[in-house]
Amino acid sequence: MDFKLAVVQGPDPAEVFAGLVQWLGDEEELRGALRTESAPIEPGHLGFLADTLVVMLGGGAAVGAVIGSLRGFFSRPQHRDALMVFERPDGQQLEFGAGQIDHAEAFLRRALEQQE
């Protein structure tokens, strides 16, 4: 199941997003399960090279890898104030920050359980 992950708030959302892509990409368990997507650029805006990370999760171990990595990412001082959004394929979303990682984990696990 593919989940979209985006940075919606931070000191510099584009920089936080680039750091997130690199951080998660360094996780051995997530190699091959990540890709970036770009939203259509609105007229008059430059846009970002990529603004959404798609995370393919097939089970509990992958969820654990993503959540563990996000805990480490949020522990860095420059990322503590970032807010992110996970979006399920059905459009349901969950906004979370450093203090709501457990909610993000439950959101992902519930979606995978409902798929089975």
Model confidence pTM above 0.95: no
> What confidence tens digit (pLDDT) does each residue in 88-107 have?
989 899 999 999 999 999 99
What distances in angstroms separate CA 74 from CA 2, 48, 58, 100, one per listed residue? 22, 22, 24, 11
| Number of helices (H), then strands (E), in the chain | 3, 5
Average pLDDT over residues 81-85: 93
pLDDT per residue over 32-82, tens digit each? 899 998 766 666 655 544 588 999 988 777 899 999 999 999 999 999 999
Give the residue among 65, 63, 71 at the shortest CA–CA distance from 88. 63
